[in-house]
Amino acid sequence: MDLKTLTYIVVGLSFALYIGIAIWSKASSTGEFYVAGKGVHPVANGMATAADWMSAASFISMAGLIAFLGYGGSVYLMGWTGGYVLLAMLLAPYLRKYGKFTVPEFIGDRYYSKAARLVAVVCLIFISFTYVAGQMRGVGIVFSRFLEVDLITGLIVGMGIVFVYAVLGGMKGITYTQVAQYCVLIVAYTVPAVFIAFNLTGNPIPQIAFGSVITAESAAHNGQFMLDALNDIVTELGFIEYTEGGKSMIDMFAITVALMVGTAGLPHVIVRFFTVPRVRDARASAGWALLFIALLYTVAPSVGAMARYNLTTTVQTGEVGSPDGNLVYEDRPAWMERWEATGLLSFEDKNGDGRIQYYNDKSADEEFLARAEEWGWQGNELVVDRDIMVLANPEIARLPDWVIALVAAGGIAAALSTAAGLLLVISSGISHDLLKGTVTPGISEKTELLAGRIAVAVAILIAGYLGYNPPGFVAQVVAFAFGLAASSLFPVILMGIFSKKINREGAIAGMLTGLVFTMGYIILYKGVFIEPVIDNVRENWLFGISPEGIGAVGMALNFLVAFLVSKVTAEPPDHIQHLVEDIRTPRVTTAAE
């Protein structure tokens, strides 16, 4: 059976499973549609949360970033996992105790203001649409390669699948679908890693193989530690050492903080903790989610390192960095031809010698650049999209076709699971917070449920368009979505739980300050629908902090402005201060609870 047929079967079976679960768990009330009836077991909710969080960015892109950034990519591991500690300790149990459906609803009630609720809805929708566009692009990438269809066809199929289980099942259907998707994606991620780790080092545990000696007889670096081998290879090609980061300490710190706080402030993650029966289950869910996420995130560094090693040694057939040690383009392996067809890998023969010169032509090492010029190299000739590394790695390593097909199913599961959660957050923001909470508060539950489903359908169409024709900011999902969540929603949620003195004026001013500052900074340096205004180089950054980490500064400004404005305006009413005390004070529960 060929790879294409096998992939159709594996992916088709996974889709049938997702749709079957959606039909079985059809939502019949707004409670089931928004928060799964608050009856999800903590273990199942932890698994669903992990799937909701481990999007196409985690499954497809993160190891690719680590592959090319090396140590610098560790900020994504630290930030994204560390955010769940903040969730478990500072937000999840208190929001669950409050017991409403959405984050904007909490903000509106706590700050006794429809305006605050509307600002929160705007932040929520903007974050979610930015994020979901990236997920739809991930679906398109997987389909375009493994099912050999064009991007628009892949998007239409993916949109159809999400439409069925998001519109029909709501949060109840999405929750149990995400449990299945987690199982698919974690197996799809770890099985190839086990194969490749064993082939390279003889150790089947990727986390240990990462620091082991290369034992493959065919490897040029046999007997050398993998990370040492990688350092030697990449420095010979003009890149910085794999184990040495290219970021300053303050930038590493700021990015990590922005990602951590952004994780804790992302609405599609927070809403998961409204779905469990009790307050203590919310904290337990966060713990289980950390465990399930760790299964992938501890494997990611080894996947990235092995992918970089496999790619580089494929291109460098002889002595690394020598004029005759480069792969002849006509002799390139089949996997390179297949990825060239997608446009995500390309070769340009700049010096006409028929060999692939893959090196850092912007290296700061003048001696290396002089040597490359002496050999007649006229610039780097191979461009590899970082997003393909996880998907291409099993092909590069020549693993069995069933493993490659499994990776395709895992990539699609990762993208669809997060897309569904984000679309439901958009739906609840429009139907529950905007329509019922502000515009038409008297609508019936049936009408609200219908409005929610229509909102999901419209959001899917918009997300599909953004996935096919992404605006400039989609490529910066991490910098923008996480920075925005960190600088807008997280501070007002945290202050709403732990401070009785922050009032509506302070909350609104803080959210708008963090939102405008973070958006403005990213637009200036990276461009959103416009060309960047300032060169995105370290010398021009504020305090030496890159756009990826500026959300940490936006968060600090949010806190500061909210505190100062609250000091010079009226205190919150007594019943609001009692509400804050109520949220924080443990409640005695009975055995029945």
Check which CATH number belongs to the domain holding 237 and give it.
1.10.4160
DSSP code for 345: E
Query: What band does 591 get if pLDDT is binned at 50, 70 and 90?
Result: very low
Q: Are 191 and 410 in contact (CB under 8 A)?
A: no
Axis-axis angle for helices 300-315, 151-201 (nearest 10): 90
The pLDDT value given to residue 517: 94
Q: Are 11 and 412 in contact (CB under 8 A)?
A: yes
How would you write 88-100 as a 3-class SS string?
A: HHHHHHHHHHHCC
Higher pLDDT, 505 or 162: 505
Query: What band does 510 get if pLDDT is binned at 50, 70 and 90?
Result: very high
Which DSSP string corresponds to 248-291? -HHHHHHHHHHHHHHHHH-HHHHGGGGSSSSHHHHHHHHHHHHH
pLDDT of 99 > 80? The answer is no
Dump pLDDT digits (tens) for 337-378: 888 877 778 888 888 888 888 888 888 778 888 888 888 888
Q: Region 469-498: what's the mean pLDDT? A: 75
Statement to judge: residues 106 and 173 lie in one domain: yes
Min mean pLDDT across 14-18, 188-192, 303-307, 493-497 is at 14-18
Alpha-carbon distance 495 to 164, whole Å?
38
Statement to judge: residues 256 and 193 lie in one domain: yes
The pLDDT value given to residue 592: 43
Q: Region 412-425: what's the mean pLDDT? A: 71
Dump pLDDT digits (tens) for 5-22: 777 788 778 777 777 776
Indicate the pTM of the whole model: 0.78
Helices (H), 70-150: 74-86, 92-98, 103-110, 114-146
Dump pLDDT digits (tens) for 315-341: 887 777 677 778 888 888 888 888 887
Statement to judge: residues 345 and 223 lie in one domain: no
User: Structure tokens of 296?
Assistant: 């992938």
User: Domain for residue 507, yes or no?
Assistant: no
Q: Are 81 and 297 in contact (CB under 8 A)?
A: yes
Please say which residue of 469, 488, 522 terminates a domain: 469
User: Domain for residue 555, yes or no?
Assistant: no
The pLDDT value given to residue 473: 40
The pLDDT value given to residue 472: 43
pLDDT of 458 > 70? The answer is yes
Q: Are 106 and 98 in contact (CB under 8 A)?
A: yes
Statement to judge: residues 331 and 300 lie in one domain: no
pLDDT of 40 > 60? The answer is yes
Higher pLDDT, 399 or 148: 399
pLDDT of 411 > 50? The answer is yes
User: Domain for residue 499, yes or no?
Assistant: no
> Of 54, 44, 63, 485, whose CA–CA distance to 294 is shortest?
54
Statement to judge: residues 289 and 339 lie in one domain: no
Dump pLDDT digits (tens) for 165-186: 566 555 566 777 778 778 888 8
pLDDT of 590 > 70? The answer is no
> Of 419, 394, 555, 561, whose CA–CA distance to 477 is shortest?
419
Q: Residue 21 is which amino acid?
A: I
C-alpha gyration radius of the chain: 25
Q: Which residues pair with 326 in a beta bridge?
A: 316
> Rounded mean pLDDT of the chain?
79
Alpha-carbon distance 210 to 227, whole Å?
7
pLDDT of 475 > 50? The answer is no
pLDDT of 401 > 50? The answer is yes
Q: How far is CA 37 from CA 25, 101, 272, 275, 281, in A?
A: 11, 10, 12, 7, 14
Query: What band does 215 get if pLDDT is binned at 50, 70 and 90?
Result: confident
**pLDDT above 70 covers what percent of the chain?**
84
User: Structure tokens of 384?
Assistant: 């590899």
Alpha-carbon distance 52 to 417, whole Å?
5
Range of the domain at 328: 312-384
Q: Region 230-244: what's the mean pLDDT? A: 85
Query: What band does 24 get if pLDDT is binned at 50, 70 and 90?
Result: low
Q: Which residues pair with 383 in a beta bridge?
A: 346
Dump pLDDT digits (tens) for 276-293: 777 677 778 878 888 888
Statement to judge: residues 344 and 230 lie in one domain: no
> Of 388, 142, 430, 97, whose CA–CA distance to 267 is shortest?
430
The pLDDT value given to residue 567: 94
Statement to judge: residues 155 and 45 lie in one domain: yes
DSSP code for 500: S
Statement to judge: residues 243 and 279 lie in one domain: yes
User: Domain for residue 414, yes or no?
Assistant: yes
Dump pLDDT digits (tens) for 521-573: 888 887 765 677 888 777 889 899 988 889 999 999 999 999 999 999 999 99
CA 127, 128, 130: angle at the middle one, nearest 5?
A: 70
The pLDDT value given to residue 94: 80
User: Domain for residue 492, yes or no?
Assistant: no
Statement to judge: residues 367 and 282 lie in one domain: no
User: Domain for residue 12, yes or no?
Assistant: yes
User: Domain for residue 556, yes or no?
Assistant: no
Alpha-carbon distance 252 to 281, whole Å?
33
Statement to judge: residues 361 and 280 lie in one domain: no
Axis-axis angle for helices 483-498, 103-110 (nearest 10): 50
What is the total count of domains within the chain? 2
Axis-axis angle for helices 151-201, 401-428 (nearest 10): 130
How would you write 500-515 as a 3-class SS string?
A: CCCCHHHHHHHHHHHH
> Of 258, 284, 270, whose CA–CA distance to 82 is shortest?
258
Statement to judge: residues 208 and 328 lie in one domain: no
> Of 479, 547, 567, 591, whose CA–CA distance to 134 is shortest?
479
User: Domain for residue 565, yes or no?
Assistant: no
Please say which residue of 416, 444, 469 terminates a domain: 469
Please say which residue of 414, 437, 469 terminates a domain: 469
Alpha-carbon distance 259 to 314, whole Å?
34
Statement to judge: residues 243 and 341 lie in one domain: no
Residues recorded for the chain? 593
